[in-house]
Amino acid sequence: MSGSTGRRVVITGMGVVSPLGLTLDDLWKGLVEGTSGVGPLDAFPTAGIPLHHAAEARGFTGEIDNFGPLDGERKKAIRKGCKVMCRESQMAVAAAQRALYDCGNATAHHAPERFGCVFGSDYMLTLPEDFTASVAKCRGADGLFDFKLWASDGMPQLTPLWLLKYLPNMPASHIAIYNDLRGPSNSLTLREASGHLAVGEAVVTIQRGAADIMVAGSTGTRVHPMKTVHALQSEQVATGGGDPTTWSRPFDKHRRGMVLGEGSAVLILEELSHAQARGARIYGEIIGHAARCSTSLATVGRRRQAVGHALRRALEMAAVATDGIGHVHAHGASTVTGDRDEAGALHDVLGDAAGRIPTVAAKSHFGNLGGGSGLVECVGSILAMRQGELFPLLNHETADEECAIRPARRGDPAGDVFVSTSITPQGQAGSLVVRSWPASA
C-alpha cells in the first residue's frame, strides 16, 4: 500500500497501561518529570534468579475500575470475562476501553461492520501455578512425575477454559465482543514490533476502504516467571547493584542491559472525513509506516539493516525530509549491541542529521514492555507534540562514540513530526511516522 489512496488516517483516541500509570496524564507527568517506573519485582518470587527489580504496571490490579469509565452492561461483561484473561489480555482490554472513551462516543457514529480491531502481542505463556494441581495428581508412589497419569488424572485438574487465557488472538476477540466491533479483525504476534505493525495494518485497512475506524493496539509483559528466565538466558538484561532506576540508559556509554517491564497501549485510528463529521478531537495523523525483517541463518536479527530499511520506507511514504523531523523515538533497549546497531541505522538513513535531531527512548523510564513497548512510546511522543516539548532521555550521562545520537533534554521542541522505530531480537522491525494536528503541511 503506497499511502496515496486519498483516505487519510488520523488518531482520535489513546489509552495506556504503563509502569508510570493508567492515564495519559500519568504517562506524560512521569515522562516529562524524569520519573522511573522501575522498582522491586513483586509479581513472583525471585529467590532463584539474579533479577530482583523490574518495571511493573503497579497501578493495574485487574479490578474493574482499572478499565476506565464503563456503562453497566460492559462493566458486567468485562468483570466476568477477566476470569478467562491472562494479565496481558486484561491490560489490552483496559487500554482499549480507555482509548474508546477518550475518542468520544464513536460507537454512536459508525456501523459495526465499519469498525475493526488489529491487536499485537508477545508470545503468551501460562503461569506455573496453572499446572500445580495437575502435576500433583500425576506423582507416583516414588514422588516422580508419571506421564501415563496425565490424560486420566492430570488434565481433568486444569480449568476448562485454561487455553483461552493464553491465546494471542484473545485481546482482539475480547475487545471486539465487548464493543460490538464487526469490522476487519486481526492479531499479530511479533514481540516488540507488534504495535508498529498493528498500526500499519489498521492504516491499510482504512485506506483500502474496508473500515472507517479501527482499534490498533499492542500488549506485552517481560515480567513473568517464564519470560523473565527466557530473557535472562537469551538477552542482555541489567542486573546487579546500584540504583535500579538508573539501569535503563539507552545509548549511554555505560549501558549494561535492558530492564524488564509490562504494559499496553491503544490508538483509535479513523478516516479523516469520518472523524471530522462527528467532531472528533484529532491528536495526529499517520503519514508513514513500514515493516521489514532481516535475520541471519542462525535466526539472529540483523538489527541495523532491518531498522534502516523500515525507517527509510516509512519516511519515503510520508514524503518527509530529514529537516522536517522534529524528533526520533528510538527503540533504545539499553543493550550494548542493540543500541549500537540502531544508532548505526539512524545514521545510515538520516545521515549527519541523526546527530542533530533530538532522540528520546521512553524505555529509559520503564524498560522493555515487550509487545506493549512501541505504542506506549508512540503515545508519549504524541503527547510531547501536543505539549510542544520533549521529555528527557533518562540516565544518558556519558556519550558513546558508537551511538552518536543527540539525547533529548526536557524542554527541547518536539516538532510537528516524529519517527518511531522498534526491533525484535529476531530482526523484525517496524517504523511509524506521525504528524501533529492540525497538520502544518
- Please tell me whether residues 101 and 150 are part of one structural domain: no
- The domain boundary, picked from 163, 183, 215, lies at 163
pLDDT of 398 strictly over 90: yes
Quick: pLDDT tens for 65-118: 999 999 999 999 999 999 999 999 999 999 999 999 999 976 666 788 999 999
Burial (Cβ within 10 Å: 0-12, 13-18, ≥19) of residue 400:
middle
Q: How confident is the model at residue 254 (pLDDT cuts 50, 70, 90)?
A: very high
Is position 147 within any domain?
A: yes
Mean pLDDT of 309-328: 97
The count of domains in the chain is: 2
- What pLDDT, on the 0 to 100 scale, is given for residue 297? 86
- What pLDDT, on the 0 to 100 scale, is given for residue 187? 97
Quick: pLDDT tens for 42-76: 999 998 899 999 999 999 999 999 999 999 999 99
Is-contact 431 196, C-beta < 8 A? yes
- What pLDDT, on the 0 to 100 scale, is given for residue 18? 98
Is position 278 within any domain?
A: yes
Q: How confident is the model at residue 298 (pLDDT cuts 50, 70, 90)?
A: confident
- Please tell me whether residues 311 and 423 are part of one structural domain: yes
Is position 1 within any domain?
A: no
Cα 8 versus chain centre, distance: 23
Strand partners, 237: 258
Mean pLDDT of 292-312: 94
Residue 185 corresponds to which cell in the numbers above?
Answer: 479483525
The full 3-state SS of the chain, as one line of letters, equals CCCCCCCCEEEEEEEEEECCECCHHHHHHHHHCCCCCCEECCCCCCCCCCCCEEECCCCCCCCHHHHCCCCHHHHHHHHHHHHHCCHHHHHHHHHHHHHHHHCCCHHHHCCHHHEEEEEEECCCCCCHHHHHHHHHHCECCCCCECHHHHHHHHHHHCCCCHHHHHCCCHHHHHHHHHHCCCCCEEEEECHHHHHHHHHHHHHHHHHCCCCCEEEEEEEEECCCHHHHHHHHHHCCECCCCCCHHHCCCCCCCCCCCECEEEEEEEEEEEEHHHHHHCCCCCCEEEEEEEEEECECCCCCECHHHHHHHHHHHHHHHHCCCHHHCCEEECCCCCCHHHHHHHHHHHHHHHHHHHHCCEEECCHHHHCECHHHHHHHHHHHHHHHHHHCCCCCCCCCCCCCCCCCCEECCCCCCCCCEEEEEEECCCCEEEEEEEEECCCCC
Quick: pLDDT tens for 150-160: 999 999 999 88
- Please tell me whether residues 15 and 134 are part of one structural domain: no
- Please tell me whether residues 281 and 207 are part of one structural domain: yes
Quick: pLDDT tens for 326-364: 999 999 999 999 999 999 999 999 999 999 999 999 999
- The domain boundary, picked from 139, 163, 187, lies at 163
- Please tell me whether residues 178 and 132 are part of one structural domain: no
- Please tell me whether residues 389 and 322 are part of one structural domain: yes
Q: What pTM, to 2 d.p., does this model score?
A: 0.95
Is position 4 within any domain?
A: no
- Please tell me whether residues 148 and 294 are part of one structural domain: no
- Please tell me whether residues 226 and 358 are part of one structural domain: yes
Mean pLDDT of 377-406: 97
- Please tell me whether residues 140 and 86 are part of one structural domain: no
When the pLDDT of each residue in the chain is averaged and rounded to a whole number, the result is 94
Is position 3 within any domain?
A: no
Q: How confident is the model at residue 441 (pLDDT cuts 50, 70, 90)?
A: very low
Is position 441 within any domain?
A: no
Q: How confident is the model at residue 240 (pLDDT cuts 50, 70, 90)?
A: confident
Q: Which residue has the higher pLDDT, 241 or 332?
A: 332
- Please tell me whether residues 74 and 151 are part of one structural domain: no
- The domain boundary, picked from 107, 139, 163, lies at 163
Domain range spanning residue 196?
Answer: 9-124+167-436
- Please tell me whether residues 245 and 263 are part of one structural domain: yes
- What pLDDT, on the 0 to 100 scale, is given for residue 3? 44
Cα 289 versus chain centre, distance: 16
What percent of the chain lies above the pLDDT cut of 70? 97
Could you tell me the CATH number of the domain that includes residue 196? 3.40.47.10
Cα 254 versus chain centre, distance: 26
- What pLDDT, on the 0 to 100 scale, is given for residue 109? 64
- Please tell me whether residues 81 and 144 are part of one structural domain: no
Quick: pLDDT tens for 278-294: 999 999 999 999 999 99
